[in-house]
Amino acid sequence: MKRVMFVCKKNSARSQMAEGFAKTLGQGKIAVTSSGLEASQVRPEAIATMKDAGIDISDQTSKALSEFKAEDFDAVISLCGCGVNLPPAWLTRDLFEDWQLDDPAEQPEIFPRVRDEVKERVEKLIQTLASEPAAV
């Protein structure tokens, strides 16, 4: 099973939504967590907009990337353009993508749009990872 790390600046919205979608849609296909360049708190708007989509992320917590080891993950997905700030070990995983999604924390009214973009990208990511042969 492929292991995925979603990372964002503060692990408060976009990466939390990605983790929620990936855990639900990728159940049994991928293992997933999220983190931030720094830890903060999961935004109430992220919890609410995910609840509107039928996914409960209220038990998720914000975690710092420094709590994890890059070698424990097959794929690293940056959701905010923060890939340029990641240590090199995180950029050289089997798969690295930088989705550069708008920050809904700056404009709370865009939470639903960003949530839907995250869902679409997570669905494609799961398809991609599920079709790759397992490492030996």
Q: Which of 8, 17, 18, 122 is catalytic?
A: 8
pTM of the model: 0.94
Q: Tokens 């639903």 identify what position?
A: 112
Cα–Cα distance, 19 to 34 (Å, whole number): 6
Q: Which of 30, 80, 105, 122 is catalytic?
A: 80
Cα–Cα distance, 50 to 115 (Å, whole number): 7
CB hemisphere CA count around 33 (13 angstroms):
15
pLDDT in tens, 34-90: 999 999 999 999 999 999 999 999 999 999 999 999 999 999 999 998 888 999 999
Q: Is 91 exposed, middle or buried (0-12, 13-18, 19+ CB in 10 A)?
A: middle
- Tokens coding 67: 């709590």
Cα–Cα distance, 5 to 81 (Å, whole number): 15
Please state the domain extents for the chain: 2-131
Task: Clarify whether 80 is annotated catalytic.
Answer: yes
Fold held by 2-131 = Rossmann fold (3.40.50)
